[in-house]
Amino acid sequence: MCPFVEQVQLMTGRVIIVGASHAAAQLAPSLRQEGWTGDIWIIGDDSAVPYQRPPLSKDYLSGERGRESLQIRPPAVYEKHGIKLLKGRVVSIDRASRSVLLENGERYGYDKLALCTGARVRQLQVPGANLQGVHYLRTLDDVDGIRGQLQSATRVVIVGGGYIGLESAAALRRLGVSVTVLEVQPRLLARVTAPEVSAFYRRVHTEEGVVVLTDWAVAAIEGDGQVAGVVSTDGRRLPADLVIVGIGVIPNTELASGCGLKVDNGIWVDGYAATEDSRIFAAGDCANHPSRLLGRRLRLESVPNAMEQAKSAAASICGNRLCYDGYPWFWSDQYDLKLQIAGLHDGFDNLVLRGNPEQGRSFVAWYLRGNQLLAADCINRPKEFMVARQLLVSGIGIDPAHLADENFDLKGLIS
């Protein structure tokens, strides 16, 4: 999974990082830590220096955090390390001449290239999707557009019952906005969690005043210039002053495929974040990497993955060896709920609950295959989350009864 990477002595050329993402913000200073003394450029088409995206659907949407507080690092840090931030959009890569072409016609050469292009929102493909008042939520500008219309919007419809949709609903309810969530599947979070966890989140959002409608497929968005309502495939109509669409993302792989690199659900890299071109690397949401622990390839959309993979890419660029191979983890904040997820639940055949999801707001859903732990959804259970991460790494067999027993000290399983 992590083959040997040939030591490269060149440490004084130019590294161009494409994309002002979380991965880029980690990769650039990591290059300095690994010993790169040459130029480091970050080229991104966003309107701000690299910033945190998770708060966009939470504290930033609710107005509890400002723009500057979202910066991953202040501009002074990039200046201190001699990292150049260049605004622009890269449209192609020429591997033969080792250069990138920008949309404005400028071309820049590189010695090493890192693709941290992230992902973009999946567009809703129905009539009326381009009406004024239909928004997506991926960038600062997206959220600013939503916030700018909230004072005149009394009925907000969110299309998509995944984490982005539910986090947005929670943030808007804190502002007292009327919110309806539409989900095409029979339950919320259908792709990422068990029915018991889905039911829990439906209960909590209903208690908080959100109207949740499942089995609701959008056929069209109505309005004369400005959105006025949403229509389902079976003819139901729902009034709306503002629509937020959160139906997933698509990895930005066009630059890689355009220059002949292998792409399949992300840019293919090895365990050291290296592509098949020895001068090009990739990290973050756009990269598909092998996992020795999970025994398969995967592409992850998470901040921890982006940061750790970026460190591996920086080491590889500098000719060092740092294999990235950890268990994934994620989180989601909604109301007073802190959901922390360890591992991936694909292929589980046994769900064990620690606590009661039908009452209160704290429990754990353990996902097992036989007696092997695959993942854990920990809602307001930080101690169990830390244990879950350790259990996943250990790979030990576990008695499901111990996971369910609130009186059993799970730390004993680790020791």
The confidence score (pLDDT) of residue 118 equals: 96
pLDDT class for 321, splitting at 50, 70, 90?
confident
Which pLDDT band holds residue 2 (cuts at 50, 70, 90)?
Answer: low
pLDDT reported for residue 229: 97
Q: What is the mean pLDDT of residues 267-286?
A: 97
Question: Which pLDDT band, with edges at 50, 70 and 90, does 10 fall under?
Answer: low
Above 60 in pLDDT, residue 107?
Answer: yes
Q: Is residue 146 part of a domain?
A: yes
Residue 31, helix vs strand vs coil: helix
Are both 223 and 254 inside the same structural domain?
no
Is residue 184 included in any domain, yes or no? yes
Query: Residue 374's pLDDT is what?
Result: 96
| Alpha carbon distance 356, 342 (integer Å) | 19
Q: Is residue 5 part of a domain?
A: no
| Model pLDDT, residue 292 | 86
- With respect to residue 7, please indicate whether it lies within any of the assigned structural domains: no
Using alpha carbons, select from 358, 52, 364, 398 the residue that is nearest to residue 202.
Answer: 358
Kindly state whether residues 149 and 199 are assigned to the same domain. Answer: yes
Average pLDDT, the chain: 94
Residues 31 and 107 in one domain: yes
Q: Per-residue pLDDT averaged across 186-204, rounded?
A: 97
Q: What is the pLDDT of residue 8?
A: 42
Of 230, 245, 260, which marks where a domain is finished?
245
Cα separation, 179 vs 158, in Å, equals 7
* Whether the Cβ atoms of residue 143 and residue 239 lie closer than 8 Å to each other: no
- Do 207 and 266 sit in the same domain of this protein? no
| Cβ–Cβ under 8 Å, residues 301 and 266 | no
- The answer to whether residues 271 and 372 belong to one domain is no
- 256: helix, coil or strand? helix
What is the tens place of the pLDDT at every residue in 60-75? 999 999 999 999 999 9
Do 139 and 223 fall within a single domain? Answer: yes
Q: What is the mean pLDDT of residues 350-354?
A: 98
Assign 5 a pLDDT band (cuts: 50, 70, 90): very low
Same domain for 142 and 223, yes or no, is: yes
Mean pLDDT of 245-256: 97
176: buried, middle or exposed (CB in 10 Å: 19+, 13-18, 0-12)? Answer: exposed
| pLDDT greater than 80 at residue 4 | no
Residue 361 sits in a domain whose CATH number is 3.30.390.30
- The total number of structural domains that make up the chain: 3
Residues 20 and 110 in one domain: yes
Q: What's the pTM? A: 0.93
**Residue 323 included in any domain:** no
Instruction: Write down the pLDDT at residue 32.
Output: 96
User: Is a pLDDT exceeding 90 seen at residue 376?
Assistant: yes
Q: What is the mean pLDDT of residues 337-348?
A: 95
Q: Is the pLDDT of residue 231 over 70?
A: yes
Residue 89: CB atoms within 10 Å: 12
Q: Is residue 166 part of a domain?
A: yes
Position 276 pLDDT exceeds 70 = yes
Q: Say if residue 3's pLDDT is above 70.
A: no
pLDDT for the residue 6: 41
Report whether pLDDT(35) > 70. Answer: yes
Same domain, 37 and 106: yes
Q: What is the CATH number of the domain that holds 289?
A: 3.50.50.60
- Does residue 328 fall inside a structural domain? no
- Confirm if 362 and 379 have CB atoms less than 8 A apart: yes
Q: How confident is the model at residue 9 (pLDDT cuts 50, 70, 90)?
A: very low
- Binning pLDDT at 50, 70 and 90, where does residue 12 land? confident
Q: Which of 191, 220, 245 marks a domain boundary?
A: 245
Residue 395 has pLDDT above 50, yes or no: yes
Residue where one domain finishes, among candidates 210, 245, 280: 245
Q: Are residues 141 and 217 in the same domain?
A: yes
pLDDT at 130 over 50: yes
Secondary structure E strands in 225-320 = 226-232, 237-239, 242-245, 249-251, 267-268, 280-282, 287-291, 296-298
**Domain assignment of residue 409, given as a range:** 336-414
